[in-house]
Structure 1
Amino acid sequence: MATTGTASALARLFDPQSVAIVGASPKQDRYTGRIVRYCRQAGYKNLFLVNPKYSEIDGAPCWPSVAQLPETPDVVVCMAGPDLVPSVYEESWGAAFFLILGDMARRDGSRNERYTEFEALLKKGGPRIMGPQSLGFLSPQHSISLSISSAQVVGATLKGKIGLISQSGGIISAIIDRAAQFGIGFSHMVSTGDEFDLEVADYLEYMIADPKTAVIAIHAESLKDPQRFLAAARRAQACGKAILLLKPGKSAEGMQAAMSHSGRITGRRDVQQVILERHGVALVDDIDDLWLPAEIIARYGPVRGKVGAVSTSGGFTAVVADALRDANVELAQLGEETRQKIRGQGSHPNPTNPIDAAARGVPGLEATDVEYCLKALSSDPNVGVTLYAETLFLNPETIVEKLIDISSTSGKPHITAWQAGVAMQQAVEKLRRNNVIAVTDLGQAARSLSVLNKYAATREVCCAPSKEPADQALEGQPPGPVPDAMLSEVLSRYKVANVSQSFVSTSAEAGVAAAALGFPVVLKGLVENCLHKSELGLVKLKLTDPGAVEAAAQDMLRRNPSIHGFLVQKQISGEEFIVGINNDRGFGSAILLARGGVYAEAADKVALEAVPLNREIAERMIDKIDPKGILSGYRGRPLMARQKLVDLLCSVSALAEANATRIAEVDLNPVIVTGETALAVDAVMVLR
C-alpha cells in the first residue's frame, strides 16, 4: 500500500512536533511505562500521555483519549489491546502516523477481517501505519525514542550516521546493545514489524534523502516490493550512500526458519544476491556485520585497497593471515619504500605482511615498534586499511595512546583486534572511548574487512540497459516450454548464435537435410512440451550418412509416436559450456555460465551475474570458470574463440532483459566454443 511519495512525509514521523502515547502507564516493569521513560531519556519534550485509568503519570497530565487532546499529534503510539486498536485509530484521524507496537488481531486470533477494516480506513485518509508487531523507532538525531526495545535500559542511544532498519525487533535490540559498547551511534533505527502498511522501502527512501544518514544497514527476511527497493538502492548508489543488507535464508535451514518466523517467501537467493550487488547493496552474514563496517564507511567513506597488519606475536601473525584469507580479504604487498622504513627504524631483517613488530626482540620497545610499523603501512599506497592484531601485551598503557594517535591522524581506517581477556579490558575500553574501532575477536575484524570489500566491489560495475524490444512471438505464447522451432528463431533475433540446423517433418526429409548440412550430424525428435530429449531417447549422435539418419528417425517414431517432427543439426566439437537465464519473480534475471560436457558434474564454479551484462562483466564470468585459461591455450591446447563466447553471453543478457516479464528460465546446454565461434547446440526456454 506504500507509495514512493512517503519519503518526505516521513519527516513528521522521525521529527514530530508532538506525540501521543496511548496506554501509557507509570509501571516501569511494563513496556507501557518504559516507553515514556525512554522517550524522556532521549530528550523529547512535547509528549501527550493517554490512558483513562490515570489523571497524571510522574507529574505529567494524562488524558482519557486521543480525541480529548488539546491538539492533534503528528504521531500516535498505540499500546492498547488488539480490540481497542480500531477505535484508537479512528480517534487519531488527522495524525500523520500510527504506531501499533502490539498485535491488532481480533480476540479470536483472526487478522484478515481486521486488516480489511484498516485498508478501508487508510484509503479514506487515515494515518500511515507502522507495524503491527513493531518495537517502534528511535531517532537519536532528533532526540526521540518511541521504542519498547529493552536495550535502552542502559541509557539513550548515541547519535551517529548509521540508519538501521530491521524486520526483527530482537535483532535491532541486539545491535543497539552491541554498538553501545563501541561508542557507535545511529541517525535513526526502525523496527518495521509485520509491515501492514509502511515497509522497508519507505524507511530506506527517507534515509537516502536524509543528510544526517551516511550508511543504511538493513535486516530483511523478504522485501514486499523488490523493484521499488532496487530503484531506491540505485539512488543510494548514485549519491554515495552505502547499503548493507542481512537477508537470512541462504541455507535450507535458514529459509525454513524465515518461513516459520514470518511466513515470508525468500525466493532465489543466488539470483537475488547478484541483482542486489549490482544495485550497490552489500550482503552480510551476521548482525555485527551490519553496524561495525557501517561505522567504518560512515567515518571514512568507501574503503579501497588491501590490508596492512601488525602484531607483536610472531605466532599470531600466521593466525591473522589465515583469518583474513578465510574471509576473502587480501593482504597488501609491501612497497620497497615501506620495507626500507621498517628495516631502518627497527632493524627488522625481513618485513612481510602481516608484520611481526617484535622481530628485533628488544624489551621495552614493543609499543614504539608497533607505532612505526603502523605508520609505515599507513603511508603505503598499496594499503587501504591497517589492522593491529594482538593477544596479551605487557604494560598496555604504553601502546594505547599511540593507537589513539594513529587512528585519528593516519587518514586511513584502522582496526585494533585485541583478542585477549580481562587483562586487556581496560585498554580496549579506553580505545573505544577515544573513537578507535577496537574488537576482541579477530574473526569479527576479518568479517568487517570482508564487508568493506563487498561494498567497494558493488561500486565498480555500472551497465547501460539494453535497448532491445520484447519479442512479440513470446508475448503471444502461453506459459510453459517454447516450441523448438520458435525458440531457434527467437535466439537468432537476439543474435544468439545457433549451430547449423534444419527442422523437418519426416524421416526422409531428415536424411535430405543431413546431406545438405554435411556429416556428421545429430538427430533430435521433437515432442510437445519435452524439456529433456535425451532422457526419452530422442537424441542420436554421430550419424554419418542419410540412411543412418532415416533409420534413426524411424526408430524414434516407433518408440515414441508423439513425435511431430525432427531437428537435424551439424555435429561440432570443442569446449562445452552451459549458459542460462535464471529468474527470481520479484527481483529479475541473472545470467549463468558453467562448464559443460564431461566437466559439468565435476565443476565446482558457476559464474552468475545480473542483467544487463557488458563485455567486461562477461569476460569476468569466463575468468571465474576458466581460471587456467583453457580457452586461451592452456598447456598447448588450441586457442578457442573466447570473444565469441563473450558475444553470446551479452546477447543472452539482452534477451533476458527485453523479455523479463515472460521468461522464467532458459538453458543453453551445451554451448560449444570452437576455434572460430561459440554456438548454442541445445536450448530450452520456459515462460511464466
Structure 2
Amino acid sequence: MADTMTTAPKTLDPAKPFDLDRLLRPRSIAIVGASPDPASIGGGVLANLELFKYLGDLHLVSRSRDEINGRACVKTITDLPKGVDVVILIVPQVAIKESVLACVERDVAGVIVYSSGFAEAGEEGRRQQDELAEICRKAGMAMLGPNCMGYTNYVDGIPLTFEPVDLRGVGERSRVAIVAQSGATAANIRFAMHSREIAVSYVIATGNEAVIAAEDLVGWLIEDKDNAVVAVYVEQVKNPQKFLAVARRARELGKPIVMLHPGSSERGKQAAQSHTGALAGDHALMQTAVRNEAVALVETTDELFDVTAILARYPSPPPGEAGIVTNSGAIRGLCFDFCERVGLPIATLSDEVHAELATQVPPYVHVDNPFDIGTTGFSNPGIFGTSTASMLKDPNVGIVFLSHAGGSPPMQIKKSDAIIPVAATATKPVILNIVGDDYPLDPTFMKAVRDSGIPFFRSPERAMRAMAVVMNYAAALAATKDRAPEGGRIATLPPSGLMVEYEGKRILTDLGIHIPKGALAKSADEAATIAADVGYPVVMKAQAAELAHKSDVGGVIVNIADEPALRAAHEKMYASIARHKPGLKLDGVLIEGMARQGLEMVVGAKRDPQWGPVVLVGLGGVWIEALADARLLPADISRERAIAEIRKLKASKLLGAFRGQPARDVEAIADVVVKLGALMRSEPQIVEVDINPLVVYGEGDGALALDALFVVQ
C-alpha cells in the first residue's frame, strides 16, 4: 500500500506522524482486559481473532488470569514488550488515561478505545477526551475512538472489534471500504454489501475521532489499488479542508467516495452532538463544498447501500441521461413520473439508436425512451441484450436501467443469458431490476446475476433514486474540469467590520457589476449637485459603517422629485438618525438615480471558516425569506454552470417570459455570481457579501445592484 503515513489535521499540530499501517495492519496486538467469555467485550475480540486465525503476535493482559485459551497472560501494560503495534483498551472509562500513558511508555504505535463517556457525554467528557488526544499527539501514537467499535481488516484477516463478524475473503473483484462514525451503521453497510456478494476490504468504526478521523482513514484507504469505492458515514467532518483534499486525491485515482452526513434538520444536528459529541457545522455549506469535489452525497442509508453498490462496479460513470428498457407499459409510465420526482433525466434517443431499436420490435410497437418491448421477449429473448446494447451506444445515454417483470424461471435465465454478456463489457452503468418485491427468483438466475457483478434491485424506485445520485456524481466529475479562475486582488480594503454601502459599491464597480449612477454627498449642497447630474427622481441613503439597517432609523428616502424635496429630505434624515442613534456621525448620504422596475434577485457570498467560500443566488426582497428559494453554489462555479443552477430555482418560471413580462437576463445574474465567487477566492479577508436586491431586466439589458453589504475580517 503506497504512502501509508498520515498526519493529524493541521489544527492539531502533532509532534510526530501517525503510522496508519501499524494501526490497521498490525503485526502485533495486545488485548488489555482479555476474557475467555466470547459474550464479553474482551472475549469477543479474542474470539474474532481466533476465528480469523490471526498470525501475528497476540498478547493478553488480565489481572485475574494467567492464561486464556492456552495463551499466557501478563498482569499490566507495563509487562508488555515494547513496540506493540496496537493495544486494545477494554478498561473502565476512568482508567483510560492511565492506560494510554502506560502505552506511551511502552512505545505502542496505536490504541483502540471502545469506552464511551467522553465528548458525547458533555463538557467534562470532552475535556477528558481532549486530554487523551493531546497525550497521543505528543507521542505520535494513533488512537481509534473513543466510543467506537473498532475495525475489521478483511484483507489481512484482522478483526479488532467485539461484534461477531463472519469470516470472509475479499476475492479478486473490486472492493468496498467502509468508514463510519457509528458502529451500527458501519455494520449495516457491511451487511448490505455482503448480501449482494460485494467484497468488503475494511470496516472501520471511528466513534468520537479524538485523534484519527474519517478523513485520515479515507485518505489511507484510497491509496489501496484494490479499493474501488469508499462508503462513509459521518456526523461531523473534523477537518473539512483535509477532507476536501482527500476527495480531490480520490478523484485523481478514480475512487468514488459515497457519503451520508445527517444533520440537515435542527434535531438531526442535536442527535449528532449527543451521539459522538460532534459540533455541527453548516450542513448546506458542507453539501455545496463536498459536491463540488465530486463526492457522491446521499440522503438515506438505502441510497448509501445502493449507490455504493453501483459505483463499486462502475466507478467512473460518464455524464449523460438515463436510457430505460422494460417489458411493462405500467413500469414505463411510472418511470416518467418517478424520474422527474428524483431528478433523473430521461435521454432523448439519437436518430441512429431510435432506428436500431425499431428493427428489434414489430412495427406496431412504439419506440421511445423508456423503451417498452412488450411481449417481444417471449418470442425473441435476445432482445433483452440487444436493446441494452443499443441503449449503451446512444451518446445521450450515460446509464441504462433494465426494469422487467421476471416471468417463469426459464424466462429469468433467458434474460440473464442475454443481459449479462452485454453488461460485462459496458463502461456505462447497467442496472438490472426484476420487479416483485421479495418474491423468490430462480436460484440459477440469482447466482448468475450475483456472479456477474451487475447492480441488481427488486425495487425500481430504489434503483432510480440511486441512479439519480450516480448521474449527479458523473456530472460533478465532469464539472471539476469547468471552473472559473480566481479574480484579481482589490487594492485596499477597509478595516475589519461592516463596510459602508458606498465603499462596497465601489468594489462592485471594480468587478464590473453595474450599480445606479450616483455619489456620496457630505452636505445638502453636494447632494443637490449630484442629484442634478444624476437626474431626478433620486434616492437618498444614510452612510455609516454602524448603520446596517438604514430603513429602521429613517435612513432611506426614495422618489425625491426635485431640489426642494431633496433639501427637505436631507434635513429630515439627519434629524431622524440623530433621534434614533444619538452621537452617530455619518460619512454622508448616498445619492443615486431611482432604478426602473425589474425582477428582484439576491446574490450573496459567505466564507465558512471550515468549508471555505460559497455563493448564494435566489429571489430577492422579502421573497428569499418567505419562499426559501435560493441555491448555494461553489465559489469557483463557471458561467455556464451558474446559468444551469439559476434555472433550477423553484421560481425559475419568473425568469422566462411571464404574464406580459419579458424573459430576464439570466446571463447577467450568472456574471454577478461568477464575479462574486472569484472575489471571495482572491480576497480571504472578505467573509460576507449581500447584494439585495439585484434588479434583473430583460434579456440583454443586464442587472443593477441596488444595495450592497460587505463584511471584512
User: Do they superpose with TM above 0.5?
Assistant: yes
1:89 is matched with which residue: 70, 75, 100? 100
Displacement after TM superposition at 1:7 (Å): 8.5
CA contact (8 A) 2:646 2:652 kept: no
> Matched residues in 1 for 2:630 and 2:332: separation?
33
Displacement after TM superposition at 1:605 (Å): 4.6
Root-mean-square deviation over aligned CA pairs: 3.3
Displacement after TM superposition at 1:198 (Å): 1.0
CA change 1:299–1:259 in 2 (3 A) is: same
CA contact (8 A) 2:691 2:706 kept: no
Aligned ranges 1:418-457 → 2 under 5 Å: 418-427=434-443, 429-430=446-447, 431-457=449-475
Structure 1 match to 2:45:
35
CA change 1:423–1:270 in 2 (3 A) is: closer
Q: Deviations over 1:486-528 (max 9, x none)?
A: 3233434444433222222333432232112112211123355
> Matched residues in 2 for 1:121 and 1:203: separation?
20
CA change 1:525–1:70 in 2 (3 A) is: closer
Structure 2 match to 1:15:
25
Identity %: 25
Structure 2 match to 1:497:
514
> Matched residues in 1 for 2:484 and 2:395: separation?
32
**Could you tell me which amino acid in structure 1 is paired with residue 704 of structure 2?**
L
Displacement after TM superposition at 1:324 (Å): 2.5
Structure 2 match to 1:408:
424
CA change 1:233–1:471 in 2 (3 A) is: farther
1:552 is matched with which residue: 552, 569, 574? 569
> Matched residues in 2 for 1:198 and 1:566: separation?
55
> Matched residues in 2 for 1:601 and 1:113: separation?
39
CA contact (8 A) 1:497 1:648 kept: no
CA change 1:77–1:156 in 2 (3 A) is: farther
Q: Is 1:273–2:287 an aligned residue pair?
A: yes
CA contact (8 A) 1:94 1:126 kept: no
> Matched residues in 2 for 1:354 and 1:631: separation?
31
Displacement after TM superposition at 1:193 (Å): 0.8
Structure 2 match to 1:332:
347
Aligned ranges 1:169-208 → 2 under 5 Å: 169-208=183-222
CA contact (8 A) 1:578 1:669 kept: yes
> Matched residues in 2 for 1:302 and 1:271: separation?
26
**Could you tell me which amino acid in structure 2 is paired with residue 156 of structure 1?**
R
> Matched residues in 1 for 2:536 and 2:60: separation?
88
Displacement after TM superposition at 1:566 (Å): 1.6
CA change 1:647–1:346 in 2 (3 A) is: closer
CA contact (8 A) 1:7 1:205 kept: no
Q: Is 1:156–2:175 an aligned residue pair?
A: no
> Matched residues in 2 for 1:185 and 1:658: separation?
45
Aligned ranges 1:105-254 → 2 under 5 Å: 110-112=124-126, 114-115=128-129, 117-125=131-139, 127-150=141-164, 152=165, 154-156=166-168, 158=170, 160-254=174-268
Structure 1 match to 2:542:
525
Range with greater deviation from structure 2 (595-604 or 254-263): 595-604
> Matched residues in 2 for 1:345 and 1:601: separation?
54
> Matched residues in 1 for 2:212 and 2:499: separation?
40
CA contact (8 A) 2:597 2:695 kept: no
**Could you tell me which amino acid in structure 2 is paired with residue 253 of structure 1?**
R
Structure 1 match to 2:372:
356
Structure 1 match to 2:488:
468
CA change 1:532–1:460 in 2 (3 A) is: farther
CA contact (8 A) 2:538 2:593 kept: yes
Q: Secondary structure of the residue that 2:222 maps to in structure 1?
A: helix
Aligned ranges 1:371-410 → 2 under 5 Å: 371-391=385-405, 393-395=407-409, 396-410=412-426
1:312 is matched with which residue: 327, 352, 366? 327
**Could you tell me which amino acid in structure 1 is paired with residue 703 of structure 2?**
A
CA contact (8 A) 2:313 2:453 kept: no
CA change 1:62–1:309 in 2 (3 A) is: farther
Displacement after TM superposition at 1:680 (Å): 1.7
Displacement after TM superposition at 1:549 (Å): 1.3
> Matched residues in 1 for 2:204 and 2:490: separation?
40
CA contact (8 A) 1:578 1:595 kept: yes
CA change 1:485–1:103 in 2 (3 A) is: same
> Matched residues in 2 for 1:654 and 1:473: separation?
16
CA contact (8 A) 1:18 1:73 kept: yes
CA change 1:331–1:254 in 2 (3 A) is: same
> Matched residues in 1 for 2:128 and 2:266: separation?
33
Displacement after TM superposition at 1:621 (Å): 4.1
Aligned length: 680
CA change 1:388–1:548 in 2 (3 A) is: same
Displacement after TM superposition at 1:408 (Å): 2.5
> Matched residues in 2 for 1:499 and 1:330: separation?
41
> Matched residues in 1 for 2:527 and 2:370: separation?
67
Aligned ranges 1:1-12 → 2 under 5 Å: 2-3=8-9, 9-12=19-22
Q: Deviations over 1:24-51 (max 9, x none)?
A: 2221222322222323434531141413
Structure 1 match to 2:707:
682
Structure 1 match to 2:524:
507
Q: Is 1:534–2:551 an aligned residue pair?
A: yes
Structure 1 match to 2:603:
579
Structure 2 match to 1:322:
337
Displacement after TM superposition at 1:200 (Å): 1.6
Q: Is 1:103–2:127 an aligned residue pair?
A: no
Q: Is 1:51–2:61 an aligned residue pair?
A: yes
CA contact (8 A) 2:175 2:198 kept: no
Structure 2 match to 1:417:
433
Q: Secondary structure of the residue that 1:80 maps to in structure 2?
A: coil
> Matched residues in 2 for 1:515 and 1:285: separation?
58
> Matched residues in 1 for 2:431 and 2:31: separation?
42
CA change 1:9–1:239 in 2 (3 A) is: same
CA change 1:60–1:471 in 2 (3 A) is: farther
Range with greater deviation from structure 2 (126-135 or 345-354): 345-354
Q: Deviations over 1:296-315 (max 9, x none)?
A: 32332321232222232221
Q: Normalised by the size of structure 1, how large is the TM-score?
A: 0.89
Range with greater deviation from structure 2 (286-295 or 218-227): 286-295
Q: Point out where structure 2 has 5 or more consecutive residues left out of the alignment.
A: 1-6
Q: Secondary structure of the residue that 2:249 maps to in structure 1?
A: helix
> Matched residues in 2 for 1:262 and 1:69: separation?
31
**Could you tell me which amino acid in structure 1 is paired with residue 429 of structure 2?**
P
Q: Is 1:484–2:501 an aligned residue pair?
A: yes
CA contact (8 A) 1:96 1:128 kept: yes
Q: Normalised by the size of structure 2, how large is the TM-score?
A: 0.86
Q: Deviations over 1:187-219 (max 9, x none)?
A: 322211101111122112212333232322211
CA contact (8 A) 2:665 2:696 kept: no
**Could you tell me which amino acid in structure 1 is paired with residue 168 of structure 2?**
A
Range with greater deviation from structure 2 (559-568 or 632-641): 632-641
CA change 1:433–1:441 in 2 (3 A) is: same
CA change 1:119–1:264 in 2 (3 A) is: closer
Structure 2 match to 1:370:
384
Aligned ranges 1:264-303 → 2 under 5 Å: 264-303=278-317
CA change 1:120–1:229 in 2 (3 A) is: closer
> Matched residues in 2 for 1:238 and 1:141: separation?
24
**Could you tell me which amino acid in structure 2 is paired with residue 435 of structure 1?**
G
CA contact (8 A) 1:161 1:187 kept: yes
2:477 is matched with which residue: 443, 456, 459? 459
**Could you tell me which amino acid in structure 2 is paired with residue 619 of structure 1?**
I
Displacement after TM superposition at 1:626 (Å): 10
